[in-house]
């Protein structure tokens, strides 16, 4: 069953207008494959209620074919791999958040966020996707809630010598 990882802690059932809905099963067709949680009222407009929809039914709601997009993405990645333009992440590789946040571009994002720049402007200046900036904001927010300072990037040997 392919359920969305950001909703994994939900209970198995929910009530919707006197009808008990099984979570992780599509509200419309009953499928249990590739379940998404669709906001009935958009989240940006204050909506909090969601219903489970399979990728196909969710696509119908938004007039998109999510399966086609996913398939096209796979085809594009395979083509880029054949041309040597895409290598992807090495199998089994993992970078913890502290190490990831210290990457030079991400470190610049943190600096610009602290200076009050908006995400779109930071994206242009640093050359990272807005989603990366959102991920960094969430990380910084979680640090603020626990009163922890973000890790400082380690200086390279020559920086330690010449920048005293």
Instruction: With cut-offs at 50, 70 and 90, classify the pLDDT of residue 51.
Output: confident
Mean pLDDT of 15-19: 56
25-30: Cβ within 8 A, 24+ apart: 25/52, 26/52, 26/53, 26/54, 26/57, 27/51, 27/52, 27/53, 27/57, 28/53, 28/54, 28/57, 28/60, 29/54, 29/56, 29/57
Backbone CA torsion sign across 84, 85, 91, 96: positive
Backbone CA torsion sign across 90, 101, 128, 104: negative
Instruction: With cut-offs at 50, 70 and 90, classify the pLDDT of residue 81.
Output: confident
The pTM assigned to this predicted structure is 0.39
Per-domain boundaries in the chain: 1-88, 97-145
Q: Taking Cα atoms as reference points, which of 134, 110, 111, 130 lies closest to residue 120?
A: 130
DSSP type of residue 38: E
């Amino acid at each position: 069953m392919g359920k969305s990882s950001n909703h994994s802690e939900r209970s198995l059932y929910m009530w919707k207008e006197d009808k008990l809905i099984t979570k992780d099963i599509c509200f419309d067709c009953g499928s249990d494959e590739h379940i998404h949680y669709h906001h009935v009222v958009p989240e940006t407009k204050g909506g909090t209620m969601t219903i489970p929809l399979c990728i196909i039914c969710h696509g119908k709601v938004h007039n998109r074919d999510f399966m086609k997009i996913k398939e096209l993405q796979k085809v594009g990645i395979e083509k880029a791999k054949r041309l040597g333009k895409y290598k992807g992440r090495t199998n089994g590789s993992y970078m913890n958040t502290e190490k990831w946040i210290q990457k030079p571009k991400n470190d610049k994002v943190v600096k610009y966020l602290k200076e009050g720049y908006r995400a779109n402007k930071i994206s242009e200046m640093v050359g990272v996707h807005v989603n990366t900036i959102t991920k960094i904001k969430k990380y910084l927010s979680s640090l603020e809630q626990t009163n922890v300072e973000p890790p400082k990037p380690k200086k390279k040997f020559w920086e330690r010598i010449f920048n005293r």
